[in-house]
Amino acid sequence: MHFDLIIRNGRCVFPWGEAQADIGIRDQRIASLSVSASDEADRVIDATGLHVLPGLIDSHVHLRDPGKPEAETLETGTRAAALGGITAVFDMPNTNPTITDRKMLDWKRQHIVETANIDVAMYIGATRENTPLLAEFEQEEGVCGVKVFAGSSTGDLMIEDDEGIEAVLRSGHRRVSFHSEDEYRLRERRKLFEPGQPYHCHAEWRDAECAIRGTQRILALSRKTGRPIHILHVSTEEEFILLGENRRHATVEVLVNHLTNEGPGCYERLGGKAVMNPPLRNERRHFEAGWAALRDGRVDVVSSDHAPHPKEAKELPWLECPSGLTGVQTIVPLMLDHVNAGRLSLTRLVDVMAAGPARVYGLPNKGRLAVGFDGDITLVDMKKQRTITNDWIASPAGWTPYDGKTVTGWPVGTIVRGQVVMQDDEIVTSNVGRPISFQP
């Protein structure tokens, strides 16, 4: 039998466990998990000594396109993702202009086809003006779902009141994703701080109560309307407990940053490069609660919240420096390092970075190694040691908070629908990305 691509001799992570297998891909889909020695292909990869994972997904990135090319573009962001072992990303709508209407959805879809190096989905941003149209917009090709900024946003993307959030939840039926900090408490507490104070004050201003109140309110509205919700970047012990008790209504995302950094030490070490929303917490109990929730299954998805800004902007004093860290290129090495440190299994990593996003967002053809699924593969060398450095980062921002960190475990191949995009730290095929299809 002839295939387009055969991956031989790798240790494959299937939904049912790990096993040695030879995988054949034809017409962009997995066609066989039991390729014979006599089968041939246009291209054969010898994966001896490597683990073969279903293509890993970063379902929370800000590629800043259109509007901020000095920080990131769709092309550079998807190149960075491919270098980091990511086969698909879901891009946030807070660009300039925002992705909130059909004109911009059409533009973004075409831009993906023209420039993306891996597959891309788009969030449609909820506004008060487009709320009646969200049920229609969420069905558009390439749309992974609706995103609501209930706190920490500006302009028409902010919907902070219960009436506005309820209206969004009553327009459509797919799961809605939320930034759930409570805007009212954020505004109230902002008066307590001044620019130039220590960077760790970021976690004091946007304290745990801001996140807890936001999630409590949104969860109550989910119960009232019957609409499922996805709470992004959960960061407090109380939220993990609450959301664990409400699995019928809510799914949970955790960021690699909240699993890897703790305040106040990270603020002393990184300065403005530790400033993000919700913040890296100063209390260790929240850090430990995130890991506990990841281990016991309350976490559905691990993402990066890749949100680059130019280096000089991140070096400004606190309250003047923008919030957001780079991350799409480093999430896989960091999570593989956590696996090697015994903090989670490789199977659980695949669950929260492949099967989890597919389940939460309704991806019918991605997220697992199975016949008929897209030929998306992440090849990793679990024994390879590397040091993450700024000069490896493909983003125009040119920095990572993990500069100088040595990790064990490294992505060595990124395959998108059977097309080898990255091999051994080099982009070998570009512009193969396409908008992703979702269940209605």
CB-count burial class (<10 Å; 0-12, 13-18, 19+) for 320: exposed
Which amino acid is located at 290 in the chain?
A: G
Q: Token pair for residue 117?
A: 């190096």
By three-state DSSP, how is residue 94 classified? coil
CA angle 292, 209, 266 (to 5 degrees): 60
Q: Token pair for residue 209?
A: 């109560």
d(CA 195, CA 217): 30
By three-state DSSP, how is residue 263 classified? coil
**Other beta carbons less than 10 A from residue 164's beta carbon:** 17
Q: Which is it for the CA torsion 356, 359, 360, 361, positive or negative?
A: positive
Q: Which of 287, 240, 241 is nearest to 263 (CA)?
A: 287
Asked whether the beta carbons of 178 and 148 are under 8 A apart, the reply is: yes
**Could you confirm whether 374 is annotated as catalytic?**
no
Nearby residues of 149 by Cβ (< 8 Å), 6 or more positions away:
94, 125, 126, 157, 158, 159, 179
Asked whether the beta carbons of 97 and 65 are under 8 A apart, the reply is: no
Q: Token pair for residue 343?
A: 């903090």
Nearby residues of 317 by Cβ (< 8 Å), 6 or more positions away:
195, 196, 272
Asked whether the beta carbons of 62 and 90 are under 8 A apart, the reply is: no
Q: Token pair for residue 173?
A: 């039926």
Angle between helices 237-244 and 284-296 (to 10 degrees): 30
335: Cα within 13 Å, side-chain hemisphere: 34
Nearby residues of 351 by Cβ (< 8 Å), 6 or more positions away:
none
Catalytic residue among 22, 119, 182, 305: 305
d(CA 126, CA 265): 36
What does the DSSP assignment read for 224-235? HHT--EEE-S--
Q: Determine how β-strand 2-14 pairs with β-strand 301-303.
A: unpaired
**Other beta carbons less than 10 A from residue 316's beta carbon:** 16
Please give the positions annotated as active site.
305
